[in-house]
Structure 1
Amino acid sequence: MQDTQTKAASLSRRTTLQFLAAGTASIALPGVAQAAAGAASGNPAQQKAAALLDSAAWRLLDHNPEGATGLGIDVGAHAALRAKAEDRSFAGKAALARILREDLARVEAVPTAGLDHATQTSLAVVRSAYRTSLDGFAQPYGDVAVGGWRNTPYVVIQNVGAYLDTPKFLDADHPVKNGADAEAYLARLAKFDDQLDGELERIRKATDQGLVPPDFLLDRAIAQMTSTIEDARNNGGGLVASLVGRTASIPGDWDRRAKAIVSAEVVPALERQLAELKRQRGLAKSDPGMRERPHGAEFYAWALRASTTTPVPAEEIHRRGIEELAALHGRMDPILQKLGYTTGTVGERMTALGTDKRFMFAEGDPGRTEIMAFIRHRIDWIRAQMPRAFRDPVKGNVEVRRLPLAEEPGAPTAYGGAGSIDGSVPGKMWINLRTTDLHRKYDLPTLVHHEAIPGHVWQGEYANRLPLIRSILAFNAYSEGWALYGEQLADELGAYADDPVGQLGYLQSIAFRACRMVVDTGLHAKGWSREQAVRFFMEKNGNKREEVVNEVDRYCSWPGQACGYKMGHSEINRQRSRAQAALGARYDLRDFDQAVVDGGNVPLDVLAKNIDSYIATGKAG
């Protein structure tokens, strides 16, 4: 009882402070103000719902303690989480599913009458995320991202698994500021082998059930894991160096202890996983999609629903992708004509543009340095424009980092996300620099706007203002739809006013996401080959082979995820058009954008309800 009361009081104070910080909005989402008012006034129903949401959040974080560290909240009463690690075994996943069922029942039992809009939104978010996740746990195999985007049939593959996640997390997100932090690092390092073995039992069972990844994905995963093992055998590699490099002024035998854990526990566990991947490779075929795998059609239908937060089937998504691609190419054609690219398809002309030396970065480390400076300059520019698009701009606290070398071969060109709730850990834009040929000077700006500002990092800072459960749960269609909308905002704010080639890069990026709808459904529902998918991007949209091979491989390991981007982007624009029509002269871009981010990361049907409230408030004002 004491613990519940303490959490509820903490949430109440936090909600009130969030409301005060957001007080400059002229047409804000009404639930934000009502949430603070309800909590401050002692509304019993409001307080009970807030306490339930907070309790659900901490129960979820007990199963994902790394998430608490990433948010910077593994302190005080929850400091023990800093030394814990996610249980990736069958037992760990079963325990997580049990918690979801219990808390879903608690949330569904809450009477919504008398609750403010913001709290009703949070309850709807939990219901949607938990129901979808439980449907995922009912699948015969795979990894379920609870309120996340990385749903996959393959527990360990080229872009999935503790062998990638844990080293990067320990180096980038686990703080080492004192002896207790260093001890927690060692405790987590000592649990790394349990994580690997927990995954191992799951991939062995999946293999025995007939689920074998495509051979080309296994080739990547085997090469990457071999590299990870070689690094770990070299005096513990990065796993040891990360700790030792941050404990120079902290007394302790950190080097020896970390090396002992890596050599005696981590390396053998990695070798066990590698042996299983090699066993799978002996059974593997080249068929890329889920259609060719046991229960694949059922898994893909669920994965599409989880990714798009809609029941739209694969055939309809495929059709929409083709139509949206044609419309975007219709915008690109006249720009290409003016630049002198007059013959061939849009894809062929964009391919020709990509060979222009003026838009390439230098090779090797000089080019990598140039790219990092380019990104930071673009972030500074777009951050300064944000008051033109939002009533209540956040800081845009972002750090640009290169992806770990072991991850780069199987990773996309970049990805990003927000930092800790208190801002002590900045958001990050991770950039793939295995070769500078991945990037062009005309496509890098829009990539920055997608991953950093006003995309993922920017939106995540607003999510961190919401009740804790809302910082944890996210929906792919909203997350990626917003990031694409962020690219659009940059264009509308003048990012390419004097740069038609840069605008082509932006339009090609949006068109790329329309291609994804076609390719993902083609791979998993229509029997496309890997090469057919690669050629579609290259021929239809002019994308570089170096870029799209990794992309296509990613769709093979994360079925459905790629469809959420354009589905979400189109829905946000549909809601914007609806608000413009409803409010007329009262419409203001800053108010609409503020309503979308203040409403938080939501399924698309809940987004529509949030915009209903925004429109109603605008009309009343």
Structure 2
Amino acid sequence: MTIRKIALTSAAALLAVTAMPAAARPDTPEATPVASAEADATLIALYEDYSRWVDDEFGNGLPSVTPETHTANLAKVSGFLARLDAIDPALLSDDERVNAAVLRSVLVEQIEDARYREWEMPFDSDSNFWSYLAPRGGFQSVEEYQNHISRMRDIPRYFAEHTDNARAGLERGFSVPRVTLEGRADSLIPFTSEDMGVNPFWAAFENIPGNIPESERDRLRKEGEAAILEAVVPAYQALFTFLTQDYFPHSRETLAAHAMPDGEAYYAQQIRQYTTLDLSADEIHQIGLGEVARIEAAMREIMAEVGFEGSIAEFNESLRTDPRFIAKTPDELMGVSAYVAKRVDGEMGKYFGFLPRHRFSIRPVAPEIAPFYTAGRGGYEYCQMNTYDLPSRPLYNIPALTLHECAPGHSFQAAFQREQGGDDIPAFRRRIYFSGMGEGWGLYAEFLGEEMGIYRTPYEKFGRLSYEMWRAARLVIDTGIHSQGWSRDRAVSYLGDRTALSRHEVGTEIDRYISWPGQALAYKLGEMQIRRLRIKAEQELGEKFDIRKFHDVILALGSVPLPVLEQRIEAFIADGGQGLNGVGYE
């Protein structure tokens, strides 16, 4: 199967992406002696113990988040890491060597988070601990409802522990920057209402399924309403008061991670955690500048095609104000996304040998979080499109967003890995998400839309480039803010001038990078790694290269650190480009 080759010119940047510590690089197959069944069994016992501990720790309720619990967890995790250190990775089978590398990354991340007491900053401008406790629909059994009611009753304790932690972080200067917090408490307001028609927690009790007897439904509604009024509402009211009267007014005025306690080391740790690569902030900044220049050249080609004379910033501004690209209703935006997803369906067999049976839906982002939420997000059951403030969601961006979040991006990715991995993936890995691998795949999926023919107009193609620029600019902006002293205004100007994102999105994105150091770096670095490995596989395999097998092998790995992905593709090349067992590629 022949597919148009990728042209990626930033060779130096690609080489830099491959940098990793020697300890993180798995042994090459040539250096591996005969695997030991005893070593495999020892490792399996270790990660099964770890999985049981995680299950016992969190169970079906809300976890304890006290400093004492975090300290006890640190001791436990350190013990697991000591047991892992005692296993010689050279004696492990190929599959177990991957599991060992993943487990090591997970344990080291938890130890590093504890070192910097990350729990003392339990939210940022994008994510928090209070928005996802209310299900959007009902449950299927009385037991599930009873568990949910128990969790609701536990919310006051859970919020109080998070509040104590946040107050401790505030006192030592380890807080979310104040400039990113304006209006963020508004998402709590619906949860403070005693009106069951307003409070999102009541939705689960409005939709109790008919298979539950009416007498039980009445009882569950009464208990649910009591839990909302007696536990949920007071907890959210207390949290709202804490945030607006205590935390926000006293949060730090600085922006940079470097400005926090032990900030330079903390930012370096965040880079390692989110990228799974051994790159410095300065190296990433230079990679970003190279990618920005490359994408700008491609943007100018499209501007010439549509006859626009002016700068990229001027073209972006003209797109933002062009009524042709603004949906008139939320359903219009959702319809564009749904149609893109269906057109993608028609191309998937050319690019993947294994196609999962599971089907996802597309939903709007929940209204209580939409004003400050990102443009979209993907998941196993559904991908989300943000329909808040439609002028800030231009339709030329929707194809790229749908490819990233829905298919062949995150929703497809989740279904593929669940059905292909199944019980063969250890339980501890089913909960893990490495941003470099996961978000790198999402951005690669946007690029794949070019080959699939999904972008039909110059404006949609520019939207795709604008989204790629968005991720490339992050490399410059994140490092600029957290290690080079950039102001928020400088970051806003840099992103706004180079992308067709709306001014609203530009603002929410910059606040996200300020309040969540390092996370935004994963996307572009992960995508560059995948594209570099594809070029290498195409060149070395020649006519044996099959894009379906290459993609299947990547997704079948599950979520892994980028060095593990590199090792797998090296093995894919060495074995002549073999696909997955049991999948037909004829």
Same fold (TM over 0.5): yes
The 2-side partners of 1:275 and 1:222 are apart by 9
Q: What residue in structure 2 maps to residue 209 of structure 1?
A: 172
Tell me how far 1:385 sits from its aligned partner. 1.5
Give yes or no for the alignment of 1:435 onto 2:398. no
Give yes or no for the alignment of 1:171 onto 2:171. no
The 2-side partners of 1:54 and 1:284 are apart by 41
Unaligned 5+ segments in structure 1 are 1-30, 32-37, 66-80, 144-152, 419-425
1:183 alignment partner, one of 142, 146, 159? 146
Q: What residue in structure 2 maps to residue 56 of structure 1?
A: 50
Question: What SS is found at the alignment partner of 1:538?
Answer: helix
1:473 alignment partner, one of 432, 440, 459? 432
Deviations 1:156-195 (A, max 9, x none): 344333221212xx336xx611211111111111122222
The TM-score normalised by the length of structure 2 is: 0.86
How is 1:377-526 mapped onto 2 (pairs within 5 angstroms)? 377-395=339-357, 397-418=359-380, 426=381, 428-464=382-418, 465=421, 466-496=425-455, 498-526=456-484
Give yes or no for the alignment of 1:265 onto 2:231. yes
Q: Do the aligned residues in 2 keep the contact of 1:520 with 1:560 (CA within 8 Å)?
A: yes
Tell me how far 1:298 sits from its aligned partner. 2.5
Q: What residue in structure 1 maps to residue 318 of structure 2?
A: 352
The 2-side partners of 1:458 and 1:99 are apart by 35
Question: What SS is found at the alignment partner of 2:156?
Answer: helix
Question: What SS is found at the alignment partner of 1:219?
Answer: coil
Q: What residue in structure 2 maps to residue 541 of structure 1?
A: 499
Q: Do the aligned residues in 1 keep the contact of 2:313 with 2:497 (CA within 8 Å)?
A: yes
How is 1:579-594 mapped onto 2 (pairs within 5 angstroms)? 579-594=537-552
The one-letter code sitting in structure 1 at the alignment partner of 2:289 is I
Give yes or no for the alignment of 1:316 onto 2:283. yes
Deviations 1:438-484 (A, max 9, x none): 32221101101101111112222233223322221221111111111
Q: What residue in structure 2 maps to residue 254 of structure 1?
A: 220
Q: How many residues align?
A: 536
Q: What residue in structure 2 maps to residue 146 of structure 1?
A: none
Tell me how far 1:106 sits from its aligned partner. 2.9
Tell me how far 1:64 sits from its aligned partner. 4.3
Q: Do the aligned residues in 2 keep the contact of 1:586 with 1:618 (CA within 8 Å)?
A: yes
The 1-side partners of 2:283 and 2:150 are apart by 49
The 1-side partners of 2:332 and 2:303 are apart by 27
Pick closer, same or farther for the CA change 1:236–1:51 going to 2, 3 Å: farther
The 2-side partners of 1:356 and 1:124 are apart by 49
Deviations 1:269-307 (A, max 9, x none): 223322332212332454333233333322222111111
Question: What SS is found at the alignment partner of 2:558?
Answer: coil
1:89 alignment partner, one of 32, 45, 66? 66
The 1-side partners of 2:47 and 2:145 are apart by 32
The one-letter code sitting in structure 2 at the alignment partner of 1:602 is V
The one-letter code sitting in structure 1 at the alignment partner of 2:310 is G
Tell me how far 1:309 sits from its aligned partner. 0.8
Tell me how far 1:224 sits from its aligned partner. 2.5
Q: Do the aligned residues in 1 keep the contact of 2:375 with 2:385 (CA within 8 Å)?
A: yes
The 1-side partners of 2:58 and 2:465 are apart by 38
Q: Do the aligned residues in 2 keep the contact of 1:204 with 1:276 (CA within 8 Å)?
A: no
The 2-side partners of 1:284 and 1:186 are apart by 34
Q: What residue in structure 1 maps to residue 532 of structure 2?
A: 574
The TM-score normalised by the length of structure 1 is: 0.81
The 1-side partners of 2:163 and 2:391 are apart by 36
The 1-side partners of 2:416 and 2:56 are apart by 24
The one-letter code sitting in structure 1 at the alignment partner of 2:439 is E
Question: What SS is found at the alignment partner of 1:595?
Answer: helix
Tell me how far 1:510 sits from its aligned partner. 0.7
How is 1:28-107 mapped onto 2 (pairs within 5 angstroms)? 46-65=40-59, 81=60, 84-107=61-84
The 2-side partners of 1:243 and 1:373 are apart by 30
The 2-side partners of 1:390 and 1:306 are apart by 30
Larger CA deviation: 313-322 vs 463-472: 463-472
Pick closer, same or farther for the CA change 1:93–1:462 going to 2, 3 Å: farther
The 1-side partners of 2:56 and 2:379 are apart by 21
The 1-side partners of 2:76 and 2:340 are apart by 43
The 1-side partners of 2:56 and 2:453 are apart by 45
Question: What SS is found at the alignment partner of 1:429?
Answer: strand
The one-letter code sitting in structure 2 at the alignment partner of 1:214 is P
Tell me how far 1:312 sits from its aligned partner. 0.9
Give yes or no for the alignment of 1:280 onto 2:257. no
Q: Do the aligned residues in 2 keep the contact of 1:579 with 1:587 (CA within 8 Å)?
A: yes
Question: What SS is found at the alignment partner of 1:474?
Answer: coil
Larger CA deviation: 454-463 vs 570-579: 454-463
The 2-side partners of 1:205 and 1:588 are apart by 54
Deviations 1:551-580 (A, max 9, x none): 111112211100111011111111111112
How is 1:353-372 mapped onto 2 (pairs within 5 angstroms)? 353-362=319-328, 367-372=329-334
Tell me how far 1:375 sits from its aligned partner. 1.6
Deviations 1:185-243 (A, max 9, x none): 11111122222111011011111223343223332223323x14433565771112322
1:142 alignment partner, one of 110, 118, 140? 118
The 1-side partners of 2:91 and 2:171 are apart by 52
The 2-side partners of 1:461 and 1:61 are apart by 23
The one-letter code sitting in structure 1 at the alignment partner of 2:551 is D
Q: What residue in structure 2 maps to residue 17 of structure 1?
A: none
Q: What residue in structure 2 maps to residue 222 of structure 1?
A: 185
Question: What SS is found at the alignment partner of 2:270?
Answer: helix
Tell me how far 1:508 sits from its aligned partner. 1.1
Pick closer, same or farther for the CA change 1:558–1:385 going to 2, 3 Å: same
Question: What SS is found at the alignment partner of 1:442?
Answer: helix
The 2-side partners of 1:92 and 1:391 are apart by 45
The 2-side partners of 1:535 and 1:279 are apart by 31
Unaligned 5+ segments in structure 2 are 1-27, 29-34, 580-586
Deviations 1:415-441 (A, max 9, x none): 1122xxxxxxx2x21222221123222
Pick closer, same or farther for the CA change 1:181–1:396 going to 2, 3 Å: closer
Q: Do the aligned residues in 2 keep the contact of 1:236 with 1:263 (CA within 8 Å)?
A: no
The 2-side partners of 1:232 and 1:317 are apart by 49
Q: Do the aligned residues in 2 keep the contact of 1:235 with 1:259 (CA within 8 Å)?
A: no
Question: What SS is found at the alignment partner of 1:417?
Answer: coil
The 1-side partners of 2:405 and 2:194 are apart by 30
Question: What SS is found at the alignment partner of 1:171?
Answer: coil
Deviations 1:508-539 (A, max 9, x none): 11111001111111111122222221111111
